[in-house]
Amino acid sequence: MSGFDELLRLQDHDIVIDQIRHRQATLPERPALADATAAVAAVDARITEAQSRRDELARDEKRLADEVATVEAKAAEVYDKLYGGTITSPKELQAFQEDHDSLKRRQRELEDHEIEIMEQIEPVDAELAGLDAERSTLEATRESATVALAAAESAVGAELDEATALRDEIAAAVPADQIETYDRLRPDFAGIPIARLVGSNCSGCHLTLSAVALDRIRDLPPDALATCEECGRILVR
Ligand SMILES: [Zn+2]
């Protein structure tokens, strides 16, 4: 046993922290929320497309309605002249009558066309109502996914805070130079730079140390860092 046992304890705890961090980075609630958000965006695109079709039909209908009003006003004007008593020539009266009839025919044509457009608007309105209902459902899913992610993040965050506080406690018992060496080596050994010397084996690389290396390690003062000659890990003996 040596003072390096605390360092091993620190390493074990850092492995736990790494696992918590990994869980934090890969919370399944995150892609679930992304999917829900994408589904809302997809239905929004369909709504925009259907709405623009509806707007175009509505513009057509408005244009026809305006045209109907114009033709109708013109027909009324002709009608007033026709029956106003100011025109007496039969030839002229006949011309006005024909003009009036032609305007009324034109008005009916425009009105028929307007009805056709209104009939085309109906299914688009139904489509829009369906999409709106679909959007409400998807929006509710997204909201619950947002809540679920926030809860998961908060839980794993609390877990990490607690683990970090405990790490600080453990680290306080380890000499600063050991921590410095450990922190420096950690990235090179996938977070596990400290190994145990078990008999003549390194528990990190599982290789047997040479007799010379073992002798050298045995001769070290207890507070000196021993290193595995095979893998470079710090050996706790
Ligand atoms: Zn080794």
| Structure tokens, 3 | 């003072």
Q: How far is the CA of 193 from the centre of ligand 1 (A)?
A: 9
Measured CA to CA, the distance from residue 95 to residue 5 in angstroms comes to 115
Q: Would you say residue 4 has pLDDT above 50?
A: yes
Model confidence at 1, pLDDT cuts 50, 70, 90, reads: very low
Average pLDDT over residues 191-199: 93
Q: Which of 192, 183, 187 is nearest to 228 (CA)?
A: 192
Question: How does 69-82 read in b/e, with b if 16+ C-beta sit within 10 Å?
Answer: eebbeebeebbebb
Q: Give SS3 for 84.
A: coil
Q: How far is the CA of 7 from the centre of ligand 1 (A)?
A: 17
Residue 78 · residue 96 · CB < 8 Å: yes
Q: Give residue 117's identity as a one-letter amino acid code.
A: I
Q: How far is the CA of 158 from the centre of ligand 1 (A)?
A: 35
Q: How far is the CA of 4 from the centre of ligand 1 (A)?
A: 16
Measured CA to CA, the distance from residue 234 to residue 231 in angstroms comes to 9
pLDDT of residue 144: 98
pLDDT of residue 90: 93
pLDDT of residue 3: 62
- pTM for the predicted model, two decimal places: 0.74
Q: How far is the CA of 93 from the centre of ligand 1 (A)?
A: 116
Residues 6+ apart with CB under 8 A from 53: 124
pLDDT digits (tens, 9 = 90+) for 99-153: 999 999 999 999 999 999 999 999 999 999 999 999 999 999 999 999 999 999 9
Residue 190 backbone dihedrals phi, psi, to 5 degrees = 50, 40
Beta strand pairing call for 226-227 and 201-202: unpaired
Adjacency order of strands within the sheet including 226-227: 201-202, 194-198, 234-236, 226-227
